């Protein structure tokens, strides 16, 4: 009985883990509100989920804020890039829809729209995860994300499905915002972490010198 209710026992461990999930989810929501910082918040969410939730290393606040601050500039650029790609895809769709059916130029723009959407999917599924773990140039981040997405197309589509399900769940149950971001990121982390081994030159991601400290 004393072991069960010990501060390091299973009951308190579960309670602490649940508290970390809620706190981390709320932090992500709060730091995403300026919109332009949603990429930095997502990067910090992934890093903190990997370190604190999955590996029980460090603390939620410290790990989240360190990652947020370290990746703020690059993540803002990636976020703006994502927005621009979205606008461009929307324009291509409207232009292709306005042309007569069977027009080859319309099909061309429709194909470009599909390509741009795929690039957006790559950025969301891998770009911020790579940024959260490694100090890399923005172009190198994009190259790594594309390489991972193409070589692991099954995981990429599964990640897209996970994010879609999370988005629908949040729409139907707004209160899930207190746990859903971390739950979604846990599922993504399980799929992405093995992929990060492919871009680690000599060591595992945990030992990689370019990794952001927790």
In a domain, 163, yes or no: yes
Contact yes or no for 144/122 (Cβ under 8 A): no
pLDDT for residue 62: 92
pLDDT for residue 208: 42
In a domain, 30, yes or no: yes
Q: What is the pLDDT along the chain (214 residues), one digit of tens a residue?
A: 455 555 565 677 788 889 999 999 999 999 999 889 999 999 999 999 999 999 888 899 999 999 999 999 999 999 998 889 989 999 888 888 887 877 788 788 888 888 888 888 888 889 999 998 888 888 888 888 888 888 888 888 898 899 889 889 999 999 999 999 999 999 999 999 888 876 665 444 444 434 444 4
In a domain, 170, yes or no: yes
pLDDT for residue 124: 82
Cite the DSSP H helix spans in 99-211: 104-122, 128-133, 138-151, 153-172, 180-196
Contact yes or no for 129/196 (Cβ under 8 A): yes
Largest CA distance in the chain: 76
Contact yes or no for 131/43 (Cβ under 8 A): yes
pLDDT for residue 43: 94
In a domain, 210, yes or no: no
Residue 128, domain extent: 14-199
In a domain, 206, yes or no: no
Q: What is the count of structural domains for the chain? A: 1
In a domain, 208, yes or no: no
Contact yes or no for 37/65 (Cβ under 8 A): no
Angle at 29 between CA 91 and CA 210, to 5 degrees: 85
pLDDT for residue 107: 84
In a domain, 49, yes or no: yes
In a domain, 132, yes or no: yes
pLDDT for residue 119: 85
The reported pTM is: 0.82
């Amino acid at each position: 009985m004393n072991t069960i209710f010990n501060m390091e026992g299973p009951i308190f461990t579960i309670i602490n883990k649940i508290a970390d999930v809620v706190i981390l989810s709320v932090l992500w929501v709060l730091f995403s509100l300026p919109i332009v910082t949603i990429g930095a918040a997502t990067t910090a969410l992934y890093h903190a989920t990997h370190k604190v939730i999955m590996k029980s290393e460090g603390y939620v606040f410290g790990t989240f804020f360190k990652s947020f601050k370290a990746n703020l500039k690059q993540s803002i650029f990636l976020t703006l890039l994502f927005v621009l790609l979205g606008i461009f895809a929307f324009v291509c769709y409207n232009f292709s829809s306005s042309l007569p059916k069977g027009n080859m130029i319309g099909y061309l723009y429709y194909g470009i729209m599909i390509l741009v959407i795929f690039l957006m999917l790559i950025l969301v599924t891998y770009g911020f995860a790579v940024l959260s773990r490694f100090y890399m140039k923005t172009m190198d981040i994009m190259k790594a994300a594309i390489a991972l997405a193409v070589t692991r197309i099954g995981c990429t589509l599964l990640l897209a499905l996970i994010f879609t399900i999370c988005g629908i769940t949040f729409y139907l149950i707004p209160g899930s915002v207190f746990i859903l971001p971390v739950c979604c990121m846990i599922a993504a982390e399980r799929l992405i972490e093995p992929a990060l081994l492919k871009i680690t030159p000599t060591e595992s991601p945990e030992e990689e010198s370019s990794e952001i400290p927790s």
